[in-house]
Structure 1
Amino acid sequence: MPIFTRSDSTMQKANVLHEENMTKATNARWIYISLPLMLLFTVSMIDKSNINILFAERQFLQDLAISDNVIKGTLSSVFLITYALGQFFWGFVVDRIGAFKSGMIGIAIWGIAMIIGGVATSVTALLWSRALLGVGEGVLYPIALTLTAKWFPQQEQGKAQSFWFTGNAIGPVIGIPAIALIAASFGWRESYFALAIISFICLAIFIFMIRNKPSEHYATNAAEVNYIEKGQGVKKTANIDTGSVKSVLTSPLFWILTTVYACVSIGFFGFSTFLPSYLTEAKGIDFVNSAMINAAGYALAIIVQLVCGYLSDRWMKRAAFVAVASVIIIGCFVGFLYTTNTTVVILLTIILLSVLYMPAPITMTMLHEVASSQVMGRISGTFGCVSYLVAAAGPMVVGFFSTTTGSFTGGFMALISFIVLSLLLCVYLMKKGY
């Protein structure tokens, strides 16, 4: 029987450690987490914007007796309200039962909502469809932020969130023409049913690919799990108990980040809602070309987000990126308001649309330095709920000031004040090392 000495045992342990270090880490987090999350945000963006495209479809308006803008506004607003409140509700659910189970329930709900929309014969039924869609899609940010916190080390969270957030830009690029084509060729109800089928396909993909933690996933190895765990942790917020919901919610830093996100969201929703009307009425650009300008802006937004996500991880100066974006947004706003050159207007509009998207994922990345993965569901739910309730005021702000002053300039200048506030808060965050 062989006899092992102390040195033999030490050498065996060293060999085991050497083999573990030599094992190449898998990249399951990028394939099985980022990709399906991006797909979910892409489809969700198409689902929520489906009705905005159908507002221009005559048969849709006739079938449901939609005759004025008050009804259209109500159908849009009810979604934003339930979407915001849904994020708060789902935040608690995600922390309780996990992102995997929460995601399955939420995606199923929004698939059912699209079916209800497809069979609707009245505005009331359509209102229920929109409200249920908001509740279902409200699960997205709590599960996405929770999964990012658990699946990605701190030095990759900017890239990861920018990657899945691009779904919000990809959605309009492919969704606007696709929905219009389906509605024109087959009917508006068929556009709802098609999106319902796609939503349930997303549910199947989610079930197959997503797991709550790296250690639970069939595609990860020990090297990847170890790499992720070593890169996690909060570095800049030693004065905050990041694992306590109460501590995070009473932290000024959380509310600064929430305010920044709300300000850039007000700018986005306020601008994007009135952009087609502004280009057509104030700048003399026809409807078709204005749609092309929108598509170009969203396409460029994909590139801007990915590049900035990568660089923010490389330099770890996330607040600086949001500050620079705020400066560009303000400059573009002022520029196209006071120029009469159509080419300049088009270029500034495309740049503005692309940059308006970028601050959101970068701001959410800073949220990981305030809250741990154990409470991220509740924290992100509160963060999203407050931000989107405030952001819902964006279109109303533009509408009110535009009506009061008699031009779009007054409404857009009101939006600029929120972006200025975002800039000032980001300068403060930069001084704090964020």
Structure 2
Amino acid sequence: MTKVRYGVVFMLFITVIINYMDRSNIAVAAPFISKELELDPVQMGLIFSAFGWTYCALQIPGGWILDKLGNRKTHAIGIAGFSIATLLQGFVHGFSGFILLRVGLGAFEAPAFPTNSKVAASWFPEKERARAVAIYTSGQFIGLAFLTPALIFLQQWFGWRGLFIITGIIGISWAILWYLLYRDPQHSKKVNKQELDYIREGGAIFDAIADDKSVKSTVGIKDFAIVLKSRKLWGIYIGQFAVASTLWFFLTWFPTYLVEYRGLTFVKTGLLASLPFLAAFVGVLSSGFLSDFLVKKGVSDNVARKVPVITGLLLATSIIGANYVENTNLVIMFMCIAFFGNGFASITWVFVSLLAPKRLVGIAGGVFNFIGGTASIIIPIVIGFLAKGGNFAPALTFIACVTLIGALSYIFLVGKVERIQVKEEESLKGYESA
């Protein structure tokens, strides 16, 4: 049996690194941008959040585009688009220019994680899927852990404008490579029959729509209702908002918090800021491999899938501990525990493919990422207002409360982990009605 699926998850891993490099480079550049362009914390909060405006608004349309164009084209177009937006930020000279390009960045990144989820669901049997999700999701943490010092180095040598230009060029190059190298399993010339049968018999859903020519690629109103009225899906939607809230604190305000509110030098910040990302990397890999190990040993999905997420979200509430210590090492310790917990909870995407009706994984993934993506709008702005008076403690308390709500949503709303059943004729009618 070939092992092509392992190469595919590595490509997803690289894609996620590129995604988050282009989302987070502004956090590294923020102190210099605000100084050169004379922007206050509220304006910087708006710039941080502008990415989320279109990222959220286009999640459901992004899911539709994914179901229509497929994995290969959707990722290639998206990566190229947001990389060009990143490159152009190197030429901005005002507040409005940054807002416009961050909006463009969010628009092209909108289909990214629904596509990642669908690729994983296409290439991996259910018993390996949490591991696959953990591996590619870890790219956002390991990439940032090692990239943060590298991005600071680039900025010191080439300035913040050079930072955006160089990261944009890297992304454009990867978009070309993705289009040249990626194929879905049923179209891949590298995969053999044994691996194809293995992933199909294990619950891969690559042929759920593509192999049924009687089903149109449009989506009806009833299909949207299915993914919007389910209590189970709302449980993971709220949980995803909580996971994303902690993440977006680290992607936007964390370096500024260390420099302006904890008085660290920028070079020292670069080194210390990488530690929570390393902790999150350990957390997400530990969670994914532990979850699949438990499934292999016959443990129910209710325990194997839900417990890591709930445990991780509860650990993430420890971020509030930084409010009660002055020692820098203790501050970083609490940040590491919180982000480890966030990483441990970050296998949430596995629930989309486990709970959503097979025909609606793309749309359910779009709604899931839409709700989670609203954190990229709300969190930077709220933190900007809460920290405006020079006190960051209310902001960290706010993050801790959100993560607690996320844990409670998995405990009380998700319930038994099983696929939502929809009558076939109802689903088909939804497709045909559009």
- The residue matched to 1:369 in structure 2 has which SS? helix
CA gap 1:47/1:341 in 2 versus in 1, 3 angstroms: closer
Amino acid at match of 1:393: I
CA distance in 2, matches of 1:396, 1:122: 19
Greater Cα radius of gyration, structure 1 or 2: 1
Q: Which residue of 2 aligns with 1:127?
A: 99
Shift, 1:391, TM fit: 4.9
The answer to whether the aligner puts 1:298 opposite 2:290 as a matched pair is no
Shift, 1:308, TM fit: 1.1
CA gap 1:398/1:73 in 2 versus in 1, 3 angstroms: closer
Unmatched segments (≥5 aa) in structure 1: 1-24, 235-242
Q: Which residue of 2 aligns with 1:329?
A: 316
Shift, 1:76, TM fit: 1.6
Shift, 1:144, TM fit: 0.5
Shift, 1:153, TM fit: 0.7
Between the two proteins, the alignment pairs up a number of residues equal to 394
CA distance in 1, matches of 2:398, 2:168: 38
CA distance in 1, matches of 2:106, 2:159: 24
CA gap 1:283/1:111 in 2 versus in 1, 3 angstroms: closer
Q: How does 1:6-405 map to 2 (within 5 A)?
A: 25-31=1-7, 33-57=8-32, 62=36, 65-212=37-184, 214-232=185-203, 244-270=223-249, 273-276=252-255, 278-279=257-258, 287-315=266-294, 316=301, 317-330=304-317, 332-340=318-326, 342-360=328-346, 362-401=347-386
Q: 1:122-171: per-residue Cα shift (whole Å, max 9, x none)? A: 44333332221111111211211111111111111111111111121133
Shift, 1:409, TM fit: 3.1
The answer to whether the aligner puts 1:419 opposite 2:403 as a matched pair is yes
CA distance in 1, matches of 2:156, 2:146: 16
CA distance in 2, matches of 1:262, 1:57: 29
Amino acid at match of 1:183: Q
CA gap 1:337/1:121 in 2 versus in 1, 3 angstroms: closer
Shift, 1:177, TM fit: 2.6
Q: Which residue of 2 aligns with 1:11?
A: none
Shift, 1:188, TM fit: 3.5
CA distance in 2, matches of 1:289, 1:132: 32
CA distance in 2, matches of 1:71, 1:192: 19
Shift, 1:372, TM fit: 4.2
C-alpha contact 1:53 1:179 (8 A) present in aligned 2:
yes
Shift, 1:416, TM fit: 2.3
C-alpha contact 1:401 1:414 (8 A) present in aligned 2:
no
CA gap 1:262/1:426 in 2 versus in 1, 3 angstroms: same
C-alpha contact 1:111 1:196 (8 A) present in aligned 2:
yes
Shift, 1:180, TM fit: 2.7
Q: 1:336-386: per-residue Cα shift (whole Å, max 9, x none)? A: 3334555433322222222223313x2111111122453222221121112
CA distance in 2, matches of 1:51, 1:300: 22
C-alpha contact 2:311 2:345 (8 A) present in aligned 1:
no
CA gap 1:52/1:338 in 2 versus in 1, 3 angstroms: closer
CA gap 1:421/1:203 in 2 versus in 1, 3 angstroms: same
TM-score scaled by length of structure 2 = 0.82
CA distance in 2, matches of 1:281, 1:70: 15
Amino acid at match of 1:350: C
TM-score scaled by length of structure 1 = 0.82
CA distance in 2, matches of 1:260, 1:252: 12
Shift, 1:39, TM fit: 0.8
CA gap 1:433/1:37 in 2 versus in 1, 3 angstroms: closer
Q: Which residue of 2 aligns with 1:15?
A: none
C-alpha contact 1:75 1:127 (8 A) present in aligned 2:
yes
CA distance in 2, matches of 1:266, 1:278: 16
CA distance in 1, matches of 2:266, 2:26: 18
Q: Higher mean Cα deviation, 248-257 or 184-193?
A: 184-193
Amino acid at match of 1:386: I
Amino acid at match of 1:292: L
C-alpha contact 1:36 1:205 (8 A) present in aligned 2:
no
C-alpha contact 1:320 1:430 (8 A) present in aligned 2:
no
- The residue matched to 2:309 in structure 1 has which SS? helix
CA distance in 1, matches of 2:279, 2:232: 31
CA distance in 2, matches of 1:131, 1:29: 33
Q: 1:60-117: per-residue Cα shift (whole Å, max 9, x none)? A: 954xx44433432332221121122232221110111211111121122113213322
CA distance in 1, matches of 2:84, 2:223: 35
CA gap 1:113/1:390 in 2 versus in 1, 3 angstroms: closer
Shift, 1:174, TM fit: 3.1
- The residue matched to 2:355 in structure 1 has which SS? coil
CA distance in 1, matches of 2:194, 2:289: 23
CA distance in 2, matches of 1:395, 1:221: 47
C-alpha contact 1:66 1:72 (8 A) present in aligned 2:
no
CA gap 1:104/1:402 in 2 versus in 1, 3 angstroms: closer
CA distance in 2, matches of 1:68, 1:400: 11
CA gap 1:345/1:182 in 2 versus in 1, 3 angstroms: closer
CA distance in 1, matches of 2:117, 2:281: 19
Q: Higher mean Cα deviation, 293-302 or 185-194?
A: 185-194
Unmatched segments (≥5 aa) in structure 2: 206-221, 295-300, 419-434
C-alpha contact 1:146 1:373 (8 A) present in aligned 2:
no
